[in-house]
Amino acid sequence: MIKYSLNCKECDLKFESWFASSKEYEKLKRKKLLKCLNCDSLKIEKSLMAPRINKKEYITRDKEQKKITKIKKKISEYQKFIKNNFEYVGDNFTHEARSIHYNNKKKEKNIYGTATKDDLKELSEEGIDVQTIPWIEDSSN
Ligand SMILES: [Zn+2]
């Protein structure tokens, strides 16, 4: 047995009814045996309130997931580029960035590493150009 919330499109009456199965509901509807209790209209619809909301939420989540996957892919491509073209200096980033900036004899090189927010602020105040990018640890390796 299955209970459906039904809605009459004609008089907007909402009522509930039991059916043996969803197939039985479809059969009764097809045979025009499903009538409004109030106005005998055949324009009876299953009230989709709860399932519709669930489905919408699911689609939204799925979309979000796809977006996140796409962004993650972008970031990982970016990371690959940086790993191939930049020298990793880890926690020494602030120090290395300064030494490149102040020591003109030192060859310009691209470095990447980690720095705190305060470090970044100081660097930018000193006129040292740094870029921050989101970094995802590659858990598959
Ligand atoms: Zn009705």
Position 124: which residue type? Answer: S
Predicted confidence at residue 55, as pLDDT, reads: 58
Q: Is residue 115 part of a domain?
A: yes
Residues 69 and 105 both lie in one domain:
yes
pLDDT confidence of residue 105: 62
Total domains, the chain: 2
Q: What confidence score (pLDDT) does residue 33 get?
A: 92
**Domain extent for 28:** 2-47
Instruction: State the distance from the centre of ligand 1 to the C-alpha of 42, rounded, in angstroms.
Output: 8
What sign for the dihedral angle of Cα 37, 43, 49, 52?
A: positive
Question: Separation of 6 CA from ligand 1 center, angstroms?
Answer: 10
Confirm whether 132 is domain-assigned. no
Residues of the chain with pLDDT under 70: 48-60, 104-107, 138-141
State the Cα–Cα distance between residues 117 and 3, nearest whole angstrom: 58
Look at residue 49 in the predicted model and tell me its pLDDT.
Answer: 47
On whether both 28 and 61 belong to a single domain, the answer is: no
Distance 21 CA to ligand 1 centre (A): 23
Q: Check residue 56 and give its pLDDT.
A: 61
pLDDT of residue 141: 45
